[in-house]
Structure 1
Amino acid sequence: MASDEEAPFRQTGWAGLRARLFHLYFVLRRPMTLGVRGLIHDAATNSVFLIRHTYVPGWQLPGGGVEVGETMAEALARELYEEGNIQITDAPILKSMHFNRRASRRDHVGFYLVEHFSRTAPKLPDHEIAEAGFFPLDRLPEGTTPATLRRIAEIFANVPASPYW
């Protein structure tokens, strides 16, 4: 049985076309964006992987937008490979969902913990990533973003997850 969200697409004729056009208008007028971020934890060195973009200040967790037709886990795997040459070797753990009100009124971020991974090579700077690397939890780089610090505290200091990024 189809869900209520699929109902407009079951209709045929003028009613179906009208429903599809209304749905398209709604998506274009009020699109929701969905992103993912991963906290890659190397337990052997008690360090986390952070990146520094070329276009925004601060050190942050790798991640990005979920593309059309992509699951959140697939987006996370793609982004980690693109931004850090990191391949996930076991299922990441979805820790929390956050409303990113600084990005837009409809932006949400899925936050994952990744403890099983391999790295093919160090990430070299490119047009998107200025720097990337693993940092010990007790020596995070200056300029680590507040959101990154909050996510790290939620995982390692048992601070309750904020609903906001």
Structure 2
Amino acid sequence: MPPLVHRAMQRGMHAYWRFARPMTLGVRAALIDEERGVFLIRHAYTPGWHMPGGGVEAGESALEALARECAEEGHIALDETPVLHGLFQNRHVSRRDHVAVYVVRRFRQLAERRPDREILEARFFALDALPADVTRGTQARLREILDGAAPAERW
């Protein structure tokens, strides 16, 4: 097969699979500080406390998305390369949604995160005193990271 035809077929198949089987990818940061605990946020549009994070945009790497989301949702700058904890299917959002969870232990909060239309609250919690309405997925990931629980396959 001529290289031009082969390349055109590859592009065509890529476009087909993009629409036939789209997958979404999100990232979450387990921001853990020995003294202050874990940084969590509470959104205006969904209940409970979550690790900061969001969707990976087209042309953006997962680590770029993680750094962007930490800056936007917590005014947090990452001081180390995040460590991938795991990749989880999130059927609560869609059967095609996946979330990459990263652990970060060296970071700086550049300013206090004030409430706005997206983020109602953002703060640290002691690791042994998480809020009662922390989401099940967030709680499970923290147990895996902090207590060595076996990682789940799904969020």
Q: Give TM-score, length-normalised by structure 1.
A: 0.87
Secondary structure (helix, strand or coil) at the match of 1:37 reads strand
Instruction: Give how far 1:109 is off.
Output: 1.0
1:24 paired to 2:10 = no
Q: How many residues are treated as equivalent by the alignment?
A: 154
Give the greater-gyration-radius structure (CA). 1
Per the alignment, residue 34 of structure 2 pairs with: 43
Within the candidate set 43, 66, 70, 1:76 is matched to 66
| Structure 1 residue runs without a partner (length 5+) | 1-9
Per the alignment, residue 164 of structure 1 pairs with: 154
**1:12 partner letter:** L
Secondary structure (helix, strand or coil) at the match of 1:154 reads helix
1:85 paired to 2:72 = no
CA displacement 1:26-71 (0-9 Å, x = unmatched): 20222111111011011123x1000001100110111011111111
Distance across 2 between alignment mates of 1:79 and 1:162:
24
Q: 1:14-163 alignment to 2 at 5 Å?
A: 16-45=7-36, 47-163=37-153
Q: Give TM-score, length-normalised by structure 2.
A: 0.92
| Structure 2 residue runs without a partner (length 5+) | none
Instruction: Give how far 1:161 is off.
Output: 0.5
Instruction: Give how far 1:18 is off.
Output: 4.8
Kindly report structure 1 stretches of 4+ aligned residues shifted beyond 4 Å. Answer: none
